[in-house]
Structure 1
């Protein structure tokens, strides 16, 4: 069919999917006020793919001559990694810098599965072949793939197989000659307006008793038995009802987080990456974020850019940009922003070669960047609060600006530093959305947990850091002969600097 267009995308959502908002079934996700703004946002991403001004970055020509979406191209070298970063940056700058889920990072688990064909083939030769087939399909058609990562879990002190209700973790309840049957649920962002979801195995102790929960597959989101229960909209009645003057982010970019329920959903074998393979789940689960974290860091950089820009804008509008202590805090914001970019570029520059010859960001540097971004986003938001002061929580709305009874007062008392009231209020409302709104709270939680909890990120850094090199230096400086101590288990080293 070729690369999907805006109209193809909009038409494709009329597919019988089961979506519920505020307890009611949604007739058409394209027009429902809680979903329509994000449907339009994703449609704009399809516009970018089909716009000649952006096509060189958003697409690539495959070896068979077909034009594919770069979202779904596994990086072959350092240049490909750079192009992926630039592609994601283009989307964030052209559409919205606070967006998180639009497909480029969720697909990267398939990169890992294709790359580790040697490992998957030890269990079933269909697995890697299925992953490669899905990558091919995604490249050619540019479907929107989201993921399904987080289970409800129930009592988190107990293993999945120990739960009173086994459905609290997604599991295989039946194997058939033609596929498997899936039951359970996953939390995910963007599912109501995506095409498919890549279901990942939950994080757990992969003992034989947990075999049913060791499932990785692609689910079509209009499949029989799939229903999507959307969280409470951030704006009453849905984002489409929000005034964009007062809610510049909520009104257009309220990404809808969803509970995807799998009520005995049939998954054909061709869509299964592995099933009931706890050993394989244990081996693969930690590797599925190899490339996804590059997308996360790119998003963190875009958010940091917006925080810096908003701080500069509001302080210029108030005249406080001339005050040294305010400049000092803005400089701290700039420092955080530059640090994020440093992690991103360094991981790319020191990229590593994978077992099959792909290029992935330097895992140790990238994992350190993940931790930094997860830990410091709240600090950056707090700096913005201190820079802009308390005025964002005392702002008039657009109706007060337009009302004959209040307009003169608003125009007089909210102007300043050479800027009129409407201009200053627009900047202040953006600042409020970033610091003192439901949108701000959701974004801070997402930053903290979207890349798994920080302790899991720290474990990933510990596993990928070259510990032996650092210990060898310490032993030499301490005067300890290498033979005098047993070598610790070192992280596997991959080739660095794949060009």
Structure 2
């Protein structure tokens, strides 16, 4: 029987964030030892793990759960330095799903959420057996932080790619909604558009730099994006996202959240009033205008938008995670040497 390309198209979910309990205490110091995923038994043929991982996008839709430590571990936390990959239907694995939008949303009113509603999984490992050939770490504490940092790098890189795409959408929507209102030449509109353009271009240039100035791991020779550039750009993205979206909302106005639903437009009685009072000029189609507003709302002020507002800040770790990585990877000695030279210090 001939195989199709999808037969071996395995998909995996990054499974990294533990509940963490009391953040002031280490993994082995928690009241409940299972608040970080840990090894509870070592056997000749594998290990048994227990714990939970939170915020796992698409956990119930993939083939493999690729589990990694959420951070570096100390010698006394050896049971928590665990990494493995198992099929999603492995006995003992439970997934509690939450989606930001119900499946029945229609495309007119929810042009983003109706296509991009992705379940977020609360993944529980209730004494799950993992055979040795699927174990990556089992107590090697010195490698726990390496895996955690590596995952963060690629997740942040993916976030930059998606943000460049979204940034272009925000600019296009801002221009369209301004043209439909006859305000596209207004100096205030032009100023707001420039803010959106600067934000998008800064992220795009940071991503381009990170890829062009790639790094190479030793001795394997694997190529990966520039760590400092990725973290600095992701920090810029997250730190400025919310205040940048205000320019789009300001240009669009209150209709972002008050434009009527498609059912009202299609209704004979209410539809005639909607077409009458959403009119601006002959070359602006009423339905097209509503679609623009619906996309702005859905992307930035409703189901998908609410999800993205949090994801932009938290995906790949919040702002402190990027600050930590920037401090670790910036060439401080070079900067100090330049400062000494400029100050005349030999």
Calculate the TM-score normalised by the size of structure 2.
0.94
What is the rounded CA distance, in whole Å, between the counterparts of 1:242 and 1:251 in structure 2?
5
- 1:192-203 alignment runs, 5 A limit: 192-203=60-71
* Alignment check: 8 A CA contact 2:69 2:147 kept: no
- Please name the residue that 1:85 is paired with: none
- Please name the residue that 2:198 is paired with: 335
SS of the equivalent of 2:86 reads strand
- Please name the residue that 1:344 is paired with: 207
What is the rounded CA distance, in whole Å, between the counterparts of 1:166 and 1:193 in structure 2?
29
SS of the equivalent of 1:320 reads coil
**Structure 1 residues 2 and 163: CA distance shift in structure 2, 3 A:** farther
What is the rounded CA distance, in whole Å, between the counterparts of 1:377 and 1:2 in structure 2?
44
Structure 2 unaligned blocks of 5 or more: none
Q: Is residue 277 from structure 1 mapped to residue 140 from structure 2 by the alignment?
A: yes
**Structure 1 residues 406 and 283: CA distance shift in structure 2, 3 A:** closer
Q: Deviations over 1:25-68 (max 9, x none)?
A: xxxxxxxxxxxxxxxxxxxxxxxxxxxxxxxxxxxxxxxxxxxx
Q: Is residue 251 from structure 1 mapped to residue 114 from structure 2 by the alignment?
A: yes
Q: Is residue 267 from structure 1 mapped to residue 130 from structure 2 by the alignment?
A: yes
SS of the equivalent of 2:90 reads coil
What is the rounded CA distance, in whole Å, between the counterparts of 1:357 and 1:365 in structure 2?
20
- Offset of 1:173 from its aligned partner? 0.8
What is the rounded CA distance, in whole Å, between the counterparts of 2:166 and 2:243 in structure 1?
13
Q: Is residue 415 from structure 1 mapped to residue 279 from structure 2 by the alignment?
A: yes
* Alignment check: 8 A CA contact 2:155 2:315 kept: no
Q: Is residue 390 from structure 1 mapped to residue 270 from structure 2 by the alignment?
A: no
- Please name the residue that 1:189 is paired with: 57
- 1:199-218 alignment runs, 5 A limit: 199-203=67-71, 206-218=73-85
* Alignment check: 8 A CA contact 1:293 1:451 kept: yes
- Please name the residue that 1:357 is paired with: 221
What is the rounded CA distance, in whole Å, between the counterparts of 2:74 and 2:154 in structure 1?
27
- Please name the residue that 1:406 is paired with: 270
Q: 1:234 aligns with which of 90, 100, 104?
A: 100
- Please name the residue that 1:452 is paired with: 317
What is the rounded CA distance, in whole Å, between the counterparts of 1:351 and 1:190 in structure 2?
29
What is the rounded CA distance, in whole Å, between the counterparts of 2:301 and 2:234 in structure 1?
25
RMSD of Structure 2 on Structure 1 (CA): 1.7
* Alignment check: 8 A CA contact 2:28 2:77 kept: yes
Q: 2:38 aligns with which of 163, 171, 193?
A: 171
Q: Is residue 376 from structure 1 mapped to residue 202 from structure 2 by the alignment?
A: no
Aligned residues: 342
What is the rounded CA distance, in whole Å, between the counterparts of 1:269 and 1:262 in structure 2?
17
Q: After the TM superposition, which parts of structure 1 deviate over 6 Å for at least 4 consecutive aligned residues?
A: none
SS of the equivalent of 1:289 reads helix
Q: 1:317 aligns with which of 180, 184, 209?
A: 180
Q: 1:428 aligns with which of 266, 288, 293?
A: 293
- Offset of 1:149 from its aligned partner? 1.2
What is the rounded CA distance, in whole Å, between the counterparts of 1:404 and 1:396 in structure 2?
14
SS of the equivalent of 2:51 reads strand
SS of the equivalent of 1:156 reads coil
What is the rounded CA distance, in whole Å, between the counterparts of 1:352 and 1:439 in structure 2?
34
* Alignment check: 8 A CA contact 1:351 1:362 kept: yes
